Amino acid sequence: MTLRGRLTAAFLAVVLGPVLLGAFFVGSTMAAVDRSRATERLGLAAAGVRTSVDALCQQLRAAADAVALVTDPAARSGAAAQVVGRGLAAAVRVTDTAGRFTYATAGGPAEPWQDCSGDPAPGGPVGALAARVQLRDPAGTDLGTVVAAQSVDPAFVARLAAVTGVAITLLDDAAGPVRVTHTTENREVRAAVLAAADRADGDRITETADGRYVRRLGPSPGQPLPLVLSVPGERPPGLYAALVSAVVLAALLAVLAAWRLARATTRPLMQLAGAVDRVAHGDLTARVPVRSRDEIGRLALAFNRMTRETGTYVTALTSSRDQLRGHLAVLGDTLASTHDLERILRVILHSAIAATGARAGAVLLLDPDGVLVAQCAEGLEGRWPVEDPADPATVRVPVGAGVIGTVVATGEPLRGRWEPTATPTAEPLCETYVAVPFSAPGAADLGGRGGPDRPGHPPAGADGDGGAGGGGTLGVLALYDRLGGDEFDDDDLETLRTFAGHAAVAVDNVRVHEEAQRLSLTDPLTGLWNYRYLRESIRREVERANRFGRMLSVLALDLDRFKDVNDTWGHTAGDAVLVEFARRVRGEIREVDLAFRHGGEEFVVLLPETDARGATIVAERLGAVVRGSPVRVDSNGGEPVLVPVTVSIGIAVYPDHAASGQQVLDAADDALYAAKAAGRDGYRLAQLPDPPPSQEIPVVAGAASPPDGLPRAGAVDAAGAATGGASSGPHPPRQGRGR
């Protein structure tokens, strides 16, 4: 063989060897990369499905909570219709404790409804996703449940497919043969996809004959729907034929490779430089054609792999951004649908932890005593150096103590690594931390708990949290131990500032809501409870008296000749008399007693667990304290004057004088008329109702009155009825009280 032949053979061997190996490598690599990318896409899609379904379930729970918070049954249907009208749910149902429907919105989705937190419903297609919450009255009694549902229909499946970027099929049942409920698959590939799904086991990825990858998903905790996800493979058709053709072509062109070597070497370098420039300008789709398997070809392959991985990282970051948006959406829905401060702060804390990659966190609020108290915590179980590590509510950090106390004292955020100090604090054990204060500019100080009358009797839902107001710091949002062990950076600090702002708005909104609710139940002039709260309180106290077999006394009070005060000294003086009278009433009753302004100069006092004798003692004391000291008021443009004031009081006792709350109020009102007719400045006890016809019953000779002589609920004490000088005659005609 000639040298030329040997060189040709050697050149062909040198050229064709790498070409054959490269073809095999490209084919196997593209197949592996294709499967890897499909697996990654299906994994991201599965996470997106779980996030979307979980967000929908949280939205439905928030909608059900919004309906359950409405205590008035008549207003509950309006709240349910509003929830449906706003698109928070497709249907709302309210059931009693026996499971019977008490209310249901029209046009609900078809059965069955899959409970978000329950086991998958066996058999049959799922008609809707539903969230269930308990319905309770203000006393905590179980009244039933509220269920909010959202339809699971083709549009729902299409939205999931649009969010995840893969084809989705909803199955009838999680077990048994594959049966389709809704799908976004094309008819041409549907049968192949379902056959592959039937072979799928757990999260294993299966491949169809036409190159599609299939994964079966769920049901699982937080995602109760049986789904099938599929994506098409990205391998180009005829890949292997193209590789064989490339090898043959390389053999034919091998003889021409020598003189084209320079051109073949420089051209890939120019293409690589152009692709690098495109990537530098943000085009991550730039790829370099692989025309050889030498060093330049390997460089091109590495560059292509680098751009693919970079694109994958960008996709992951985009998914994280979408998850953050989802957390913010849930946070917005929670802020808009509930005034449960603990729940709102827990959602804010969870979202902040997810957004920054922290392992744990806590929200602490400043109480009226100037001490930070933990409201909620996550991931800190057993890490609180307090008496009860499992209960973060026992954490109390003085202002200025430790990291958290310093943040409140200075109003500046802090971040860094934990440095143990000689003086122990109540802060959790951690390695890294970031803490941000939050405040509500212009927030009013709503004070402590309770209402204007007695701290022991706040209206329903009015137990406001004390705290700093007037633009001061409300609390601290703190996160601990970032994933990976690195310190929290400036971006984490800015993110936490955003969530701290949400926390400030939430605290301020809840306190304003509680203050508005309290003001709606009080009289603005005297600070006593108003007539609206009187009706609620008399019902509650009568029920309590029935339940425990006790008595309830009602005093109806009316200032004597109050019209003369207004006519003589003006309405400003009359208001001053009313305010002073209310103050004296509050000073003479117990903390468990309730005082109300019924209207004008009329007042009502409820005395729980008090019989007629005790009520007359209170009436005598009230009459004496009002009568004993004239009220000092400013006259119309003149010197202050002393206005003598007296009060007439009617007394009625439940159940001696009435069988219901309204009846005992009427009985006290009738006794007040009798006191007015008897000359004012006194009290009268209501007359006992006429006894029903009865027959004689033999009485045991040893029967005797109770040792203490006090009447009991349900018994009639004739002596007690006469206590306090009750009128024995008929009531005077009701022609006015003679103000």
Distance of alpha carbon 73 from alpha carbon 222, whole angstroms: 31
Residue 673 · residue 726 · CB < 8 Å = no
Query: Which element (helix H / strand E) includes 377?
Result: strand 371-378
Give the pLDDT of residue 708.
46
Residue 338, CA distances (Å) to 105, 130, 326, 331, 731 in order: 21, 19, 18, 11, 51
**Is the N-terminal amide bond of 458 cis, ω within 30° of 0?**
no
Give the pLDDT of residue 241.
76
8-state DSSP, 223: B
Give the pLDDT of residue 39.
86
Pairing of strands 128-136, 113-115: parallel
What would the two tokens of residue 317 be? 């970051």
Beta strands, E only, 258-304: none
Structure-token match 């109480």, residue found: 367
Give the pLDDT of residue 445.
39
Residues of the chain with pLDDT under 50: 3-4, 7, 262, 443-471, 699-706, 708-739
Give the pLDDT of residue 480.
86
Give the pLDDT of residue 672.
93
Q: Which domains does the chain have, with CATH numbers?
A: 339-511 (3.30.450.40), 531-691+703-721 (3.30.70.270)
Distance of alpha carbon 306 from alpha carbon 279, whole angstroms: 11
Query: Which element (helix H / strand E) includes 396?
Result: strand 396-398
DSSP SS3 for 373: strand
Give the pLDDT of residue 579.
93
* Burial per residue of 305-330, b for 16 or more beta-carbon CB atoms within 10 angstroms, e otherwise: eebeeeebeeeeeebeeebeebbeeb
**Is the N-terminal amide bond of 177 cis, ω within 30° of 0?**
no
Q: Output phi, psi for 287, to 5 deg.
A: -130, 150
**Closest by Cα among 538, 514, 509, 510 to 461:** 514
Three-state SS annotation for 624-689: HHHHHCCEEEECCCCCEEEECCCEEEEEEEECCCCCCHHHHHHHHHHHHHHHHHCCCCCEEECCCC
pLDDT in tens, 551-602: 999 999 999 999 988 888 888 888 999 999 999 999 999 999 999 998 888 9
8-state DSSP, 111: S
Nearest 5°: CA angle at 78, between 522 and 508?
45
Give the pLDDT of residue 703.
38
273: exposed, middle or buried (Cβ count in 10 Å: 0-12, 13-18, 19+): exposed
Give the pLDDT of residue 460.
36
Distance of alpha carbon 126 from alpha carbon 219, whole angstroms: 12
